[in-house]
Amino acid sequence: MGDKQPLSLYVLFGALLAGLSWVLVDAWRGYRVRSWLRHGDLAMAPQMSGWWGVVLDRARKLLRERERTIDAGEQRLKDFLSAIQASPNGVVMLDARAQIEWCNQTAATHLGIHPERDVMQRVGNLLRDPIFTAYMAVDQPVEPVVMSGYRNRVERPVRISVQRHRYGEGKQLLLTRDVTLLEQAEAMRRDFVANVSHEIRTPLTVMSGFVETLQTLDLNADEQKRYLALMATQAVRMQGLVEDLLTLSRLEGSPVPSFVNSLPLESLLTACESEARGLSQTIANGAPPHVIEFQTNPLLAHAMLLGESRELQSALSNLVNNAVRYTPAGGHIDVSVDQGTDGSLVIAVRDTGAGIAAEHLPRLTERFYRVDRSRSRESGGTGLGLAIVKHVMQRHGGSLSITSELEHGSCFKLTFPANRWRAKA
């Protein structure tokens, strides 16, 4: 019995020691798990078995799901900001104190602010335009405001529309849009309507006066004939204006000419030459007629232009007739056809008229733009001829170029790309 009692004590002590060891090991594992959870780095997760291993596996899964959720959210935010960054409209986010939290590059260009340097700057301190200051003072604006853009210049205006929206807790969103072209288009529309009204009203006023004269006065046959001739002139002028307006409308509303139809270059030049000589004799009225010469590179004598015949005829006819109208009697008008170095076909109309000052050249193709209004009306022009020529050339992939010098005449060139003409065998 005496030997069995110490043995029992040894067994009990061993069991206690084993239990204590297990508790210490388990506590150490728990400490490692707790330390890892504080950092949450999946790469540093300890490897364990038992129930702590189960806990670790579950924690790793939850952390992976959380990281995937965070990554997906960050990616969505990046995609959203990239989409806003690529937007043609500007976006500026303001906090409750009207300080810039974020803006895209478009807004920075419109308003002249820096996307990084000006973060947390009050927008009112950066944009001092009185129009913008007054707009920001309105509590709930309904309509956007239009003000000058950052790169606004007298010779090249820039107009920016700004719309303000409230969101969140006192925050604001500014949306900017470049409306320069819209305002220019609206100004052109107003000018166009005003010009058309003026151009039509003038001959109508003249004709109304003549009609009233014929109705109220007892005129002899010669006087009646003279008044009727003047009325006919004004009627022709109005008819030409209406026809040119209809031509422009048709050009703008019809599809691009195909490459199926063709017009022999020789036929085009012959028709324009005949028309020019007839107009020259009419204008000369007894004075020496114009010297008109049409010259063509022999290799291009049988070339074919590919496009709409009526439009091509109208374009060259406008240029040749303008040269006749604005060149004094006896002057020279030369029409030449040659091939460019890039394979293009070039038709040049040169005259020995008074020439055009350099400041007028960029605007010559605008509708109703005239260098000398009184001289244009005397020559019978509508102010739409060069606008028609420009549209025709654009529709055929070509271009109209103008060079001129005062007292040395002008040169108008029609350049057709290589795919708009072909040489006929």
pTM, 2 dp: 0.59
Backbone angles phi, psi at 346, to 5 degrees: -120, 125
pLDDT band at 292 (very low <50, low <70, confident <90, very high): very high
- In 179-321, DSSP assigns E strands to 262-264, 291-296, 304-306
Q: What is the mean pLDDT of residues 66-87?
A: 81
pLDDT for the residue numbered 37: 66
What percent of the chain has pLDDT above 70? 88
Mean pLDDT (the chain) is: 84
Among residues 378, 375, 395, the alpha carbon closest in space to that of 387 is found at 395
Residues 178-196 have a mean pLDDT of 83
Mean pLDDT of 262-268: 93
Catalytic residue set: 198
Residue 268 has pLDDT above 80, yes or no: yes
DSSP 168: T
Question: pLDDT band at residue 223, thresholds of 50, 70 and 90?
Answer: confident
pLDDT at 179: 93
Compute the C-alpha angle 14/18/22, nearest 5°: 170
DSSP 3-state percent helix, strand, coil across the chain (nearest 5) = 55, 15, 30
Identify whether the C-beta of residue 320 lies closer than 8 Å to the C-beta of residue 272. yes
pLDDT in tens, 224-244: 888 888 888 888 888 888 888
Which of 342 and 248 is assigned the larger pLDDT? 342
- Crossing angle of the two packed helices 265-284 and 309-325, in degrees rounded to 10: 30
Per-residue pLDDT reduced to its tens digit, 347-381: 999 999 889 988 888 888 888 777 765 554 555 56
How does pLDDT run across 41-62, given as a tens digit for each residue? Answer: 666 666 666 666 677 677 777 7
Lowest mean pLDDT among 77-86, 327-336, 349-358: 77-86
94, β-bridge pairs: 100, 172
